[in-house]
Amino acid sequence: MLLVTGGAGFIGSNLVAALNDAGRTDVVVCDTLGSEGKWRNLAKRQLADVVPPTELDAWLKGRRLDAVLHMGAISATTVTDGDLVMERNFRSSLRLLDWCTASSTPFIYASSAATYGDGRQGFQDDPSLAALKALRPMNLYGWSKQLFDTAIAARAERGEALPPQYAGLKFFNVFGPNEYHKGSMMSVLTRRFDDIKAGHTLQLFKSHREGIADGDQRRDFIYVDDVVRVMMWLLASPSVSGLFNVGTGQARSFKEMMLAAYATLGATPRIEYIDMPEAIRGSYQYFTQAKIDRLLAAGYNGGFTPLEDAVAHYIRGYLDSADRFR
């Protein structure tokens, strides 16, 4: 069997879908479904079991698994409960790492570009302990991910035992189907699509930095299909371990993403620019762009979907259809 933690979430459910499409029906999801309809992310899937996170440690005893794909975490960058985040994002990850080490099970896990903080030190996925310690995440979520990356790097540098394959993936700005439960953490395209479709004027932030135009704040937007393709490649490449950025390697602006949505719908753009709230001006990121040299050097050659094509695929296949779920 394969275990996907966070398998009812955004990236996790897309991964489960890809595994089913590849013929794997022996997939176990560990997640909390709650009462907000997150189950719909899995409604089209075939699963071997659904395990609550509180029962995972007991469920793992005596098991043999082909791999653990650890996507489960509190992923909101606005969360403030430090004790809860430490338990969910760090300590539970350590327990899974220890189990995979003891049972010789491949371990692929979600890190985050949030570990890079404001980006002033660049976006190089240097896996060395010294490089990781130099990063300064700007929020609790990013710090929890950095702590786990650092824990693995420390074990590697000390020559301690690790799983036969261990791969951390620093996801950049992922968007695509099944992110609808994420509230304010949804991608800007998903949050604004209904307004665009209804013909309402779209609001984007003005720039408060010299030399950068309004709406030209840039992110490394990556379609969820590309993220899943990287993970499927890792499952098929057991000799590959390490810490890797997962982005396209090309920063694009929020304005470009929205113009791609208008173009897909054949609609005339209606965009106005509003002042960025003063509370976030000092910490707002104007640019993120993944360095993907290490991923490519490791052998990944699956490519990345251009932004305009990804936006069109997402809108036509999901956002602008009766059934938005994958």
Question: Does 71 show up as a binding residue in the annotation?
Answer: yes
Distance CA 47, CA 33 (A): 14
Question: Does 10 show up as a binding residue in the annotation?
Answer: yes
Question: Does 208 show up as a binding residue in the annotation?
Answer: yes
| Residue 255, Ramachandran bin (φ over 0: left; ψ between -120 and 50: alpha; else beta) | alpha
Question: Does 54 show up as a binding residue in the annotation?
Answer: no
Paired tokens of 273 = 């620019």
Question: Does 214 show up as a binding residue in the annotation?
Answer: no
Question: Does 175 show up as a binding residue in the annotation?
Answer: no
For 41, the 3-state DSSP assignment is: helix
Active-site residues: which are they?
A: 141, 182
Question: Does 74 show up as a binding residue in the annotation?
Answer: yes
Question: Does 301 show up as a binding residue in the annotation?
Answer: no
**Element containing residue 56 per DSSP (H, E):** helix 56-60
Answer yes or no: are the C-beta atoms of 178 and 231 closer than 8 Å.
no
Question: Does 200 show up as a binding residue in the annotation?
Answer: no
Pairs from 212-216 (Cβ < 8 Å, separation ≥ 24):
212/286, 214/255, 214/273, 215/253, 215/254, 215/255, 215/258, 215/271, 215/273, 216/253, 216/254, 216/255
Known binding-site residue numbers for substrate: 173, 184, 205-208, 219, 284
Known binding-site residue numbers for NADP(+): 10-11, 31-32, 38, 71-75, 145, 174, 182
Known binding-site residue numbers: 10-11, 31-32, 38, 71-75, 145, 173-174, 182, 184, 205-208, 219, 284
